[in-house]
Amino acid sequence: MADFSRLKKEWLDKYKLVPAILAKVKDVKTAATAFNTNIDAVLKIDGGKIETLIKKQGLSLLELDNNKETKLNSGTDVVRGIFKCFCRGIAEEWITEDKKVYDWMSENLGYDRLQMGGQGGIVANVLAIAGVQKVYAHTNSLPKLQAQQFLELDNLLSFDESGREAPAYKIDRKADIPLIHWIIEFDKGDSLTISGKKFVCPKSNRFIATYDPLNLHLVMDKNFVNFAGKEKIDYMVLSGFHALTERNNGVKLAEETLPIIRAWKNNGTLVHLEIASTQDIAVRRAIIKNIAPIVDSIGINEREAIDILEVIDEQKLAEECEKETHSVCLFRALLRIKRALKAPRIQLHMFGLYITVQDKGFAISPEANLRGMMTAATVAAGKAGTGSVNEAKNLLWAQGKEVSDIGLKELEDLAAFVNDEKLTETGIGGFEGYDVIAVPTILVEKPVTLVGMGDTISSISLITAR
């Protein structure tokens, strides 16, 4: 790999701005998150445990490699999902509506700890600890166990049974049920052996197994919806559609949110959509066709970019990105996606590099985007290195650490593709009439956790772009 010592020093100087940028978050008056909030049951799993589960289910290698079905209909499917993500080093979320599968996971998996789950809940905690004056979290279920996952901050708000605004951690809607998801994490370099064949995990990642009757049906809190439709909120970070299925009327449920989103935008709210891993292709198509074109900003990772390509008739490029998940291929994907969705701003977070492609004259300037993306990279590294950003001191844990060689190599390749060598030094360029902002990131060799990383990156990038 090339000697990036000069570039590392230049980017280290740029990153010195991050503490001052983060301090300006307190100037943001309001932000809100919707729609999905739940409880995550986090489990760190190793190759030996996976081998035990495979043997217990009596699965052959052929059965493990059968990935046509990505829904959890049995404990066998849970094991297949874990095996797939472990062997490929990828993140996916598979869903079940069968309580028997939930019971199987309770009996056979267990968990190491409980924590906030769902893009809405995770982002609400992050934005509140970062200093936004008022953060409103949508909660379709808020019993005491869920409330305990919110940070004990008075600027982090939700609504009680009577529709009264209150700090989320103090609310106990006693009639509500806890919604629990399994986050099954594994480490790069770990291995397992099946039928004499050894599999080594190429990248630390996680498999999510979801049983959640309310978010699976996009049940909404009317008090939140009514409030957000009337009040001026500066930023709305939107997600939760990925849990829907065509079988559960998911396409219609997604479409029914369109007037709600338009009402937010009419109030002057900047709406960001976090795509998330959407396994149901009909729902994925509905999100891309109906919701994505009306929001201001979209956030995706490598896997989600490929998923979108598959539903906008870009199968060949999807296959290319699947084979070689690097910056140039993914940048080409971003361009195709942007043209198809017509979203003003799209940000992709990949391993070692963040890339934003946006319209000229977008409300957030390229320079502000760069500042926000560097701040997000610092906060994300802090989350990876410490395990959480539930304390303000962890937000800047990675400050002063150098950007990665991997990120600089990806940036160098991207700069060559867009024919702009200065992109490697400035992080700002242009291509085919769009602004392009690219930031090499700080990588943590052995992350404590990766849960909610993409949500943290997208929301902090947006809110701190100042």
Average pLDDT per consecutive 10 residues, the chain (466 residues; last block may be shorter): 88 98 97 95 95 96 88 94 96 86 91 92 97 98 96 98 97 91 94 96 93 91 95 96 91 96 95 92 96 97 96 96 95 97 96 97 97 98 95 96 97 97 96 97 90 92 95
70-89, pLDDT tens digit by residue? 889 999 999 999 999 999 99
Residue 252 domain flag: yes
Strand (E) or helix (H) holding 167: strand 165-167
Residue 108 domain flag: no
In contact, 159 and 221? CB cutoff 8 Å: yes
- The domain of 33 spans 5-39+116-172+215-463
Residue 88 domain flag: no
What is the rounded distance in angstroms from the CA atom of residue 125 to the CA atom of residue 152? 9
- The verdict on whether omega for the bond into residue 35 sits within 30 degrees of 0, i.e. cis, is yes
DSSP string spanning 221-266? -HHHHHHHHHS--SEEEE--GGG--GGGTHHHHHHTTHHHHHHHHH
The CATH number assigned to the domain holding 402 equals 3.40.1190.20
Alpha helices per DSSP H over 115-166: 119-130, 144-147
Residue 52 domain flag: no
The burial of 137, by beta-carbon neighbours within 10 Å (0-12 exposed, 13-18 middle, 19 or more buried), is given as buried
Residue 188 domain flag: no
Report the interhelical angle of 302-311 vs 327-341 (nearest 10°).
50
What's at 444, amino acid-wise?
V
Residue (of 451, 234, 265, 421) closest to 343 by Cα position: 265
Residue 373 domain flag: yes
Residue with tokens 């559960």: 248
In contact, 321 and 302? CB cutoff 8 Å: yes
Residue 35 domain flag: yes
- Total domains present in the chain: 1
What order of strands is seen across the sheet that includes strand 92-96? 92-96, 205-211, 180-186, 38-44, 113-117
Residue 161 domain flag: yes
